[in-house]
Amino acid sequence: MRNYKTLPIPDSVWQKPTHFIAFGFGSGAMPFAPGTFGTLIAIPFYLVLSKLPASLYVAAVILITLGSIWLCDKVSKEINVHDHPGMCLDEIVGYLVTMCFAPHGWLWILLGFGLFR
């Protein structure tokens, strides 16, 4: 049985854009707490999307979620590892879902981060 915590980060993360995205825009390559770093990467995405009306924000998050499911499945098959611990695109999506309908402001961004983690 493999110890998934010690799986190496594939070189393809730095060579293929799809792998880079699936690995949380590189945050999944962190030697510790890749999920936490993936959630940190989500904050700029939230700041951009939060300017949208609520209905468009939700629609964007749904599309991003569906796209990330497809992308992570594709990358998992390409690297022959189901749910590699460095693939943290789901952390980004999860934070965006957490922030649906949250009030604006840094306090809420930090609170959302803490509650999600």
Q: pLDDT tens, position by position, for the chain (117 residues)?
A: 444 457 899 999 999 999 999 999 999 999 888 999 999 999 999 999 999 999 999 999 999 999 999 999 999 999 999 889 999 999 999 999 999 999 999 999 999 999 998
Query: Tokens 């983690």 correspond to what residue?
Result: 117
- Report the distance separating Cα 53 and Cα 26, nearest Å: 29
Per the CB < 8 A criterion, the answer to whether 92 and 41 are in contact is: yes
One DSSP character per residue, 85-101 reads TT--HHHHHHHHHHTTT
Residue extents of the structural domains in the chain: 32-116
pTM as predicted: 0.89
